[in-house]
Structure 1
């Protein structure tokens, strides 16, 4: 990946709906070059095009960061099952006292409680969990292109 590829990605991060001609002018590279580079980037760098919504506007008023301890031999099953839950947007395996960190979304505290007690705690291999309710989103962004 060179400087032109980085500029294409930066441009898309700023505005994923930018046209090829707008990007061409912005980066000062011909449309055909942008198009060819973009196709190559879509093969191995760009995972998907998506959209970021305002969670409160769609009723998701509670966000929680949940750290989970798993039984060692059932760790793979736990992370797989967590990744299937529609209320969970991120699943990370981590080092330290806990094994997995997830980000979960809910329409209210009651729903979050149900997610934790009915869906997460019932996964075979979950030993313990600790939840932290997000009070304020200071920065929530896409991966920076450095």
Structure 2
């Protein structure tokens, strides 16, 4: 993946229904370039599907968890892999013991387990620790 792929994926993460013509204009490339890149990213398995995002309060039954992640080596490739993971609702750079903090938002605990299995297989991730959200007192 290059910088254009990264920018394309970022725009699709913000709105997966963005028309190709609009993506092309925003990225400063032709519609054919966007179409070809999307086809390649799908074929290579980088893009595994398209989904929708709901306001957190719209799905109170979702399981929310936070995974702290330690990265060794090239952090950029780990970030790209995590941004492509459907179970990762948000990703944050942190300091201290952990390098990244991923917010997971899925339908049930079995899905949390599946997301964690996929995350642990990402090259460069050396350790992780997950906490499941039980309830909020403020916010």
Normalised TM-score (structure 2): 0.56
Gaps of 5+ in 2: 1-52
- Name the CA distance, whole Å, in 1 between partners of 2:83 and 2:135: 24
- Name the CA distance, whole Å, in 2 between partners of 1:70 and 1:51: 29
Q: Which residue of 1 aligns with 2:58?
A: 54
- Name the CA distance, whole Å, in 2 between partners of 1:129 and 1:94: 13
1:132 aligns with 2:136: no
| Alignment: residue pair count | 86
Gaps of 5+ in 1: 1-49, 141-146
Q: Which residue of 2 aligns with 1:80?
A: 80
3-state SS in 2 of match to 1:124: coil
* CA offset digits 1:39-85 (Å, max 9, x no partner): xxxxxxxxxxx9625223xx52x1001100011x2211111111111
Aligned CA-pair RMSD: 1.8
Q: Which residue of 2 aligns with 1:70?
A: 71
Q: Which residue of 2 aligns with 1:94?
A: 94
**Structure of larger gyration radius:** 1
Q: Which residue of 1 aligns with 2:26?
A: none
How much has 1:139 moved relative to structure 2?
4.2
How much has 1:137 moved relative to structure 2?
3.0
Measured at CA, do residues 132 and 51 of structure 1 come closer, stay the same or move farther in structure 2, by a change above 3 Å?
Answer: closer
- Name the CA distance, whole Å, in 2 between partners of 1:81 and 1:120: 8
Asked if 2 retains the 8 angstrom alpha-carbon contact of 1:74 and 1:124, the reply is no
